[in-house]
Amino acid sequence: MSASAPPVNRLRRLFIRCATRVRRALGIGSPIPVVDTARLTEGYHAHQDNPPVDPCVKVLAYYLPQFHPFPQNDAWWGKGFTEWSNVGKAQPNYAGHYQPHCPIHLGYYDLRLVDNMIEQARLARNYGIYGFCYYFYWFNGTVLMHQPLEQMLADPRVDMPFCLMWANENWSRRWDGKDDDILIAQEHSRADSLAFIRHLGRYFQDDRYVRVNGLPVLIVYRANLIPDIAETGRLWREEALRLGLPGLYLVAAQSFDITSPAPFGFDAAVQFPPHPFRQYPDHQPEVTITNPAFTGRIHGYPDVAQRFVQRADEPYKVWRACMLSWDNTARKQDGATIFKDFSLQGYQQWLSHNLNVTAHDPRLNDDERLTFVNAWNEWAEGSHLEPDRRFGYGYLQATYDAVQDHDSRWGIVPGHPWARRHDVAVVLHLHYAEVVDPLLDQIDQAFPDGQVDLYVTTTASAHGARVRQRWPQAQVRLVENRGRDILPFVEAYRQIHSLGHLAVCKVHTKHSAYRPDGERLRQGLLAPLLGSVATVQAALTRFRQDPKLGMLVPGPFLIPATRRNASSNLANLDRLESLTGVPYGYTDLAAGTMFWFRPACLSPLLTLKPQDFDLERGLADGTLTHAVERMMTSWARAEGYTVATC
């Protein structure tokens, strides 16, 4: 590029302005966006007092102790500067851009006042958050932003477990750790490493400090910047022993291309979304830029959530993390990185996924079942659990709702693999609370002698506890609210497919709240399957008499499959063909996905993994879940079985 050529971003802005003027001149509006109907109801959430919870996975939030003036900030940014100085002056960069973020509850607080930290701890506990992970700023013996941490350490009224993350990069004016205009630099050495751990000893010995397997947890933000980090970790552990501690539990944040903790000799890794930034698609063409000087990047929040949820399991211990909206316009107005289209629903599903996977991870013991949220109060990055004017306490309530579903006091915790006791089984998925008891009533009616294996997947521990009250022998698994009833069924099928049942009935809490006939629709599915003892016996007789019978579907719900009713799902049907080797037959489909089946007929389900399923996006058709629903009968026939009606 010649010296006189304009930068790419300037050309982009010029193109956007010209295109906007042409559209207006021609009377052409913006493209119609795909709307998530659930988000239309996401307004302001008022504060509420929540009952205490004791989740099987503990949630910690990253916490920035910056919101107070101190001498270095005065020198580098101006007298009295804090992060609030940037937050309050942020402006939108495009039409519909949510800026500035305005805090409520504590307002523009000052962390020199310990009462603010006491209230933050109370608020976090009320919404199911277990602890804070404070960023710690150490630069070769110089400590910054430590006054709030020192007063927290001295005041037990800040009643909140905590751990520390060493933000061990150079501090520069760019706020991204790059070596441009360095304000204070790191100087790593053996002597500095020992001084660092000795300084932290007072924190590690506090009763509130988070311990795993009895060891204080220390997270390092950029472990790859420390020369010979494995040796440094060994020095730290030895020094911890000399301080009277049992050792250290060292964790590497997955930032700036860090993945496995093994090269560092650490015990685990912890995710740090939205890192890595570069993998996300560009969404800038979807918005109308209103700031002519904008040269930043615009990505999509759903893309980040989906990437993390669908990430394959890693062959090492990793604590999962999710984020709120992320937008550093307050720090870099014209060059900001923005993740648009945040929704409380998307955040809650991401957190629910992290809780569920962590609860079932066989590599973690109970002490290690932690998950993180970015962040409690990163206001200048637009990522904060603390309430704001737009969503109010919605971020916190979404957190509580996900955590409450994993309350260990209900007794629904990861356990042993499912076992077979009878020849017949029911696989039941419970999501909608108001349908739980009616479904259990239906099963009671169909099996009054209790001679059936009841396998339950549920999105809420309370539902599982209700099942156990009525069916003590039921085998229950807690699942996330993703893939509707299909992903939970895949997980259940993986448990039971080889147990040798004659036949299994798949049912779920089909609510269809968007339809006025939802109740009648559900009963229309259930009656031919579990309507009475005679109904069940008739179905089982057919399976005994015909060893090639694979599925029995309620008559009105086995409908012809056409290109028209599959049109939204063609791409995912092709994907399933690639995964399973079975083409879509365009014969019929089991609408409502409730049916009797012989376990062997659905073995292609075993090729599917949780990572294959996207987050829920309202009631929109065209997901892998809908494609799986359409493939059930094709899979049964491909396995050599027949499909009939009941």
Q: Which of 9-13, 164-168, 212-216 has the lowest mean pLDDT?
A: 9-13
Domain 53-406 fold: TIM Barrel (3.20.20)
Architecture of domain 424-645 in this structure = Alpha-Beta Complex (3.90)
Give CA torsion, residues 262, 265, 271, 277, to 10 deg.
-70
Checking if the pLDDT of 40 tops 80, the result is no
- Tell me the average pLDDT of the chain: 89
Q: Does pLDDT of 615 surpass 90?
A: no
Cα(386)–Cα(67) distance, integer angstroms: 13
Find out whether 273 and 321 touch, Cβ atoms under 8 Å.
yes
239-284 tens-digit pLDDT: 999 999 999 999 999 998 899 999 999 999 999 999 986 678 999 9
Mean pLDDT calculated for residue range 282-300: 96
pLDDT at residue 27 greater than cutoff 60: no
Cβ atoms of 559 and 552 closer than 8 Å: no
Nearest to 312 by CA among 614, 616, 609: 609
Domain ranges of the chain: 53-406, 424-645
Would you list the DSSP string of 52-86?
A: ---BSSEEEEEE-TT-S--HHHHHHH-TT--HHHH
Q: Is the pLDDT of residue 431 over 60?
A: yes
Can you tell me the distance from the alpha carbon of 494 to that of 505, in angstroms, rounded to the nearest whole number? 15
Instruction: Give the residue-averaged pLDDT of 72-100.
Output: 94
Per DSSP, 405 falls in state T
Asked if pLDDT for residue 11 goes beyond 90, the answer is no
- The angle at the Cα of 249, spanning 245 to 254, to the nearest 5 degrees, equals 150
Minimal CA–CA distance to 205: which of 238, 242, 243, 232?
243
Residue 485: per-residue pLDDT: 93
**Residue 508: what are its φ and ψ, rounded to 5°?**
-155, 170
Predicted structure pTM score: 0.88
In this predicted structure, the answer to whether residue 80 has a pLDDT above a threshold of 80 is: yes
Average pLDDT of the segment spanning 30-58: 68
Question: Is the per-residue pLDDT at 133 higher than 90?
Answer: yes
